[in-house]
Amino acid sequence: MQNLFNNKKKKISTVEEKEIRRKLHFDEIGVLAAVLVMILLLSLGSPYFLTANNLLNVGRQVSFYGLLAIGLSFVIGSGQIDISVGRLITLITFVMAWLMNKGINPWLAFGIGIGLGALCGLLNGGLSLFFNVHPMIITLGTQNLFWGLAVGLSNAKPIVVWQKSSFLELGPGKILGFPVPFFIFILIALLGQIVLKKSVFGRHVLAVGANRHAAIYAGINERKVRLATMVMSGVVAALAAGVILSFFQTFDPNVGSGMEMDAIGAAVIGGADLNGGYASVLGAFLGAFLIGILRNGLVLMGVGAYWNNFVTGAVILIAVAVSTALKSQRK
């Protein structure tokens, strides 16, 4: 009797996993189709859009907030949100630039930045769990905390990094003609997709997001999973900060501002359910490109910054509405 129950449980689990994979696959194909249509439309709107230099520039720019979208895919998939990542980039970029100008080896400064990102993610997740408060409220507070520290310690002034190092050659560097940040983005996206879809941890993340109480009943330590995803978000934000600093080689108090919105938008466009339970790193990767090519194309067409933000926001809202409607029909 017990074996029969276990076999039924395994069959149900297998069916549920296949259904999740089918939904995510559908979302990814939809985003890819949207990207291709957007490329076609924007290429008709500007003769400069499909030039090699412009596309390479888009790839580099997308990698900055695209990295954030990868970390946020895990956070959103677990039923949480982290809106502090943009200002965490501000803080970590400042710390790394300051350390480098104090004579610290840039690679060591980068490592310290990664550690700081993990600690800040631990702070976000720990406070949320300790006070039993939704992460949105916690990260709303730490967002201002991180930004205030960076601006206060820097006196709101830029910091130019004067050191010469192989680390600072990553940002402007190229591999086979493609920007190094773009390769880093692809590498982290592939790793993230494998972890989310193929690992036990990835299954636990989606299980916690889908039904926290059921996950606990199944023996999953949901507190550790939620904390781990927030730490991951902090680490990926630190990686993005390092990539940004290596390219611009300057700390600016406004660096990272608004990136969290593009990153969240990319993750949601890519299929992540803000209620938790569904996420796709590949979808977030494509979603980041959709936002990136849209912003770039509008600039080339002469659309002002404010209207650019308006159109991008409208596209994100439409994508969320369509995704929500399709998921409701499939349930």
Q: In a 10 Å sphere around its CB, with 0-12 CB exposed, 13-18 middle and 19+ buried, how is residue 112 labelled? A: middle
Does the pLDDT value for residue 236 go beyond 80? yes
C-alpha 265/C-alpha 274 separation (Å) is: 11
The answer to whether 223 and 129 are in contact (CB under 8 A) is: yes
pLDDT at 19 over 70: no
Confidence of residue 8 (pLDDT cuts 50, 70, 90): very low
Q: Within a 13 Å sphere around the CA of 127, how many CA atoms are in the beta-carbon half?
A: 15
* Residue 15 pLDDT class (50, 70, 90 cuts): very low
Sign of CA dihedral 285, 307, 158, 178: positive
Distance separating alpha carbons of residues 59 and 211, to the nearest angstrom: 36
Tokens of 107: 């690679």
Nearest 5°: the CA angle 14, 15, 18 is 85
- Beta carbons of 274 and 268 less than 8 angstroms apart: yes
pLDDT at 290: 94
Q: In the structure encoding, which two tokens stand for residue 18, read together?
A: 């296949």
What are 64-75's pLDDT values in tens digits? 999 999 999 999
Structure tokens at 153: 């310690």
The CA-to-CA distance between both ends of the chain, in Å, stands at 31
The alpha-carbon radius of gyration of the chain (Å, integer) is 20
According to the CATH classification, is domain 22-42+67-330 in 1.10.3470? yes
pTM of the full structure: 0.89
Distance CA 167, CA 163 (A): 10
Tokens at 277, concatenated: 């339970």
Give the per-residue pLDDT at 40: 94
Q: Is the dihedral of CA 299, 300, 304, 309 positive or negative?
A: negative
Q: What percent of the chain has pLDDT over 70?
A: 90
Bridge partners, 174 (sequence order) = 179
**Do you know the residue count of the chain?**
331
Whether the pLDDT of residue 158 is over 60: the answer is yes
Please state, in angstroms and rounded to a whole number, the distance separating the CA atoms of residues 296 and 17.
37
Each domain of the chain, given as residue ranges in start order, spans: 22-42+67-330
